[in-house]
Amino acid sequence: MFAIYKKEIIIFFSSIIAYVVIIVFLIVNGVFLWLLPESNIFDFGYATLDQLFEISPWIFMFLVPAITMRSFAEERRAGTLEIILTKPVSDMQLILAKYFADLTLVLFALLPSLLYFFTVYQLASPAGNMDIGGSWGSYLGLFFLGAVYVSIGLFSSSLSDNQIISFLVALFICFFFYSLLDLLRGLVLISPIDPLLEYLSINTHYLSMSRGVLDSRDILYFISFSALLLYLSRLIIEKRKW
């Protein structure tokens, strides 16, 4: 399992994939934080990273499927998936190795953004006059959100040999659970199941963690969601062996 994880990490950093993901994430967030009128920190007038945590889930919604779309689709197209599956490694170990490799890249994208945190921390008047607990809670929530997106991306990649199809399926599922469920709430026809839609919404639990309060229900949601998608990926890979 570790050998596959290591191979995936080497592939990421021996190509431009990792660097593009990290640079795009930092640049887009930097534009919203420091440059765009009315949304930048100087015009906003408060020492806060709210803009970063509001836009980052949407950036990840595109970047993570772009990372994961090749995970199984490319392996199957190139005929290397069957070779890997003949090795002494289980289907779940293969999936977990790819999952943690993709999640590591998400973490590498997040880490440089801590520079924004320390910059805002110093710009506050007095220095450090910001919601530190909320910021760290948002970072943790963003990491868990990225973890769910990665599991969705792997699941989508296991469905098709075509990377573009895998990307679009992952993008739709991420959008559905992050935003569309919230838009559906309140409709007359489905209002009786509003509490269920609220619980299933990724955004609900992400916002909860962004307040700086770590609720075990939110953590359990993210872990369970990811585990379910990884299990479904295993079922699909097993089915496609035959």
* CA distance to 37, 73, 91, 177, 227, per residue, from 203 (Å): 26, 28, 31, 8, 18
Q: In the predicted model, what is the mean pLDDT of residues 64-73?
A: 88
Q: Residue 29 in contact with residue 56, Cβ under 8 Å?
A: yes
Q: Answer yes or no: are the C-beta atoms of 41 and 51 closer than 8 Å.
A: yes
* pLDDT value of position 183: 82
pLDDT, tens digit, 9 for 90 and up, residues 131-161: 788 889 899 999 999 999 999 999 999 998 8
Residue 174, Cβ neighbours under 10 Å: how many?
25
Percent of the chain residues past pLDDT 90, beyond the cut: 42
What are the domain boundaries of the chain? 2-241
pLDDT digits (tens, 9 = 90+) for 159-175: 988 899 999 999 999 99
On the question of pLDDT at 115 being above 60, the answer is: yes
pLDDT digits (tens, 9 = 90+) for 181-240: 888 776 656 667 788 888 999 999 999 988 877 889 999 999 999 999 999 999 998 876
- pLDDT tens across 8-37, in order? 888 888 888 888 888 999 999 888 888 877
* Closest alpha carbon to 237 in 103, 92, 96: 92
Residue 79 has a pLDDT of 66
State the pLDDT at residue 242: 54
| Alpha carbons 147 and 64: distance in angstroms, whole number | 9
